[in-house]
A and B are shown apart, each in its own frame.
Chain A
Amino acid sequence: MVDYLYDGSFEGFLTCIYYHYYEEKAAGIFTFDNYQPSILNTFVEIKTQGDKAAKVYDAIGQKISPYDLQRIYRVFLSTVINREMLLLNYIRLGFKQGSKIRLLHGNPYVSPVEKAEKKVTAEVHRILGLLRFSVLEGEVLYAVLEPDHDILEFLADHFTDRYKNEPFIIHDKRRGKALVAQGGEWYITDFTEKNLPHISQNEKEYRALWKKYFETIAIKERTNPKCQKNFMPVRYWKHLTEI
């Protein structure tokens, strides 16, 4: 049993899975930067290798199912503790059970992965609504978010379709990267706020109008902050225009 260390990329993780099957069984899979050596296990640093990763990638798609491949990728992008081991167990069970695995809701290896996936998809859906753009000079839309999970690319399809004629930037401050899109094309790049244009002239007016609307629409007699926070956790309030 050995601890595998990898560089944090999805390909690197798949390479570790490859070594788990073809070399030594993995006791744990960790990224370089948050590994604490243990007394019990030695560790091996794994170099990411595209061909080995591709082999595992195809095997998951064919032997388990394309649906599960997507699920594995989504959970990989989450920040759930020990997600690599959850996924390793899931993949091991998947190679035994095949596409049946997604029906085993009560299985101890399946249900944590299901729950982690739900965290990611729920956050994606939430952010679709909670994202707030500002119009910058030159009519560029700019939005900041600090999501729990690395969900930037899951926002792309929705917003590139919605604003197909408007250039926009969605900036993930926590991870220092951004989704940049124009004319229906998008890519993800490293990003800092340096050199951002100023907000456009009437941006402040629309913010004020929206704030006023937000206050007005609430029915005083029904005030229920607990209910509000259940739907809209306070950690998202930082980047909301209205609060």
Chain B
Amino acid sequence: MDSSLMDKLKILADSAKYDVSCSTSGVERKNVGRMGNASCAGICHSWSADGRCISLLKVLFTNKCVYDCQYCVNRRSVDVERASFEPAELAELTMEFYRRNYIEGLFLSSAVEVSPDYTAERILHCLSILRYEYGFAGYIHAKIIPGVSQELTHAIGMVADRLSVNIELPTEESLQRLAPQKKARAIFAPMKQITNTLIEQKSLKGPGTMFKGQNLNNPLNYLNPEGRELIQPEGANADIGDGSLYQMGSPAGNALIREARYKYKEKFAPAGQTTQMIIGAGTETDSQIVKTSESLYRSFKMKRVYFSAYIPVTDSPLLPSVFTAPPLIREHRLYQADWLLRFYGFTADEMFTKEEPNLDLDLDPKITWALRNINLFPIEINKASMEELLRIPGVGTVSALRIVRQRKVAAVKYDDLKKMGVVLKRAKFFLTCSGKYYGEKDLMPEYIKGKILEPCRIKSRLLPINDETQISMFSPGAFSLGAPQQSKSKRSLESNGGLLI
């Protein structure tokens, strides 16, 4: 056994574990090479102890880095074990794992060794071996490092299925503070290039395309914080004429691009692009984060914007203390907000008010919105449009579709809703069925909120189990005081989003 391979895998997988994306969706491809195919729905192969899916071999090509980003485990100034793969060695490992059905493909990211271009060339080399030597037709997700030349970005896009450029932090101000060597403009340049190439190729798909033609390629929210007029930065036009910078010359003229022995794919990044940002390392509010991700969907037609709860790796004066618990619940609520953006037709502005720039940690954003706009409810199931149905808490995209389909042939009865997958414990307060209301009292936000939170409160013993229980003088454990130990719903802005242990 080559023990050095084991060590490399350990070091470089450990460095890559904070990269969130592990999706293998977005491209349907039969086996056009020698081995492998891709399924549009994506296939998860395993789930690690933290409950995150493992579907790609997720490794860094190297963790030797010239950058010194505060939040990163591999920054230059820290003493960790360093390692690099050889392109051929990683390609072989990927193929052997793939044969055994351990993985769906490869996720290749890297620290910046020497320079962005040098690193990107090594990545391209490895991916080319996979595609051309092995005839691999499975899934490849490659990271593009800000600052990489356009030709390399394009070449990597031609061998990978999905590209991603990490935006790292939700506001430019945080980026300057925590990653001074990374520049917002340098991050947006490759994003823009990828989007434009996809537009040229007419292969834009996915949730980002719901935002039709609005501020295409305009990183508005990030570079011009709220309240400013929309300024068109130069070169923000989506239509690129002939002679654009990355129209490729002849393949033979470029040493990086080889003639394919297997014609396995001829599209540039058919599964689109994604990005990710860290939550809770800076002092952003949820409203800033959601607005940034919305503008990423609008401008770059992203497939996904991933969030990763900041896990303290270092004691830096710029970062939350090492004892801060990772803001996992906050991350969860942000993902719920993200789903509302992508599948439920919400906008970022609807989810927040001036007084509450953060999401409620106890309730999901859809209920919060519904309680704020209680005048729109109850909604009649048998008459409402698809858009209205999607606004009811407890009704998801699948159950809304089922309701609409059944209405064509038969009225929807209250008992049918449960069979269709509607979560009635939430939904019953917000809907009527053929004119009948099934919630217990009138539509009172405070009352509904209490009802929805009741099960969790019983679990945390803040409420007696039922109202008829008489309090006994002799068994002090029979009930606990009704005051919560710490109120979690109103978070102050200084707490960095994590709760102190």
Contact = CB atoms under 8 A, between A and B. Distances in A.
Interface of A: 100, 103-107, 111, 125, 128-135, 141, 143, 158, 161-166, 205-206, 208-210, 212-214, 216-228, 230-232, 240-242
Nearest to A213: B13
B62 to A, nearest CB: 16
Given A103-B408, A218-B17, 16 more contacts: A103-B410, A104-B406, A104-B410, A106-B419, A128-B39, A135-B99, A164-B31, A165-B34, A209-B9, A216-B9, A216-B17, A218-B48, A222-B52, A224-B49, A228-B49, A228-B50
Contact of B14 (A162, A164, A214, A216): A216
> Which 9 A/B pairs are nearest by Cβ-Cβ distance?
A106-B416, A227-B51, A218-B48, A222-B50, A218-B49, A224-B51, A129-B45, A111-B419, A216-B13
A237 B296 CA distance: 39
9 contacts: A105-B416, A105-B419, A106-B406, A106-B419, A129-B46, A209-B6, A214-B46, A217-B16, A221-B326
Contacts of B99: 133, 135, 141, 163, 166
Q: Is the interface of A mostly helix, strand, loop or mixed?
A: helix
A104 B416 CA distance: 9
Interface in B27-45: 30-31, 34-37, 39, 41, 43-45
Contacts, number: 152
Contact of B6 (A212, A218, A222, A231): A212
Given A103-B405, A104-B409, A227-B51, A206 B35 contact: no
A174 B17 CA distance: 36
A216 B10 CA distance: 6
B417 to A, nearest CB: 8
A217 B30 contact: no
A217 B34 contact: no
Contacts of A228: 47-51
Contacts of A100: 409
B54 A214 contact: yes
A131 to B, nearest CB: 5
A121 to B, nearest CB: 11
Contacts of A135: 99-100
Interface string B117-128: 000000000000
B55 interface: yes
Interface residues of B, number: 58
A133 to B, nearest CB: 5
Nearest to B14: A216
Contact of A125 (B18, B41, B100): B41
Contacts of A221: 311, 326
Given A100-B409, A162-B31, A206-B96, A225 B10 contact: no
B66 interface: no
A218 B63 CA distance: 18
A201 to B, nearest CB: 11
Nearest to B399: A105
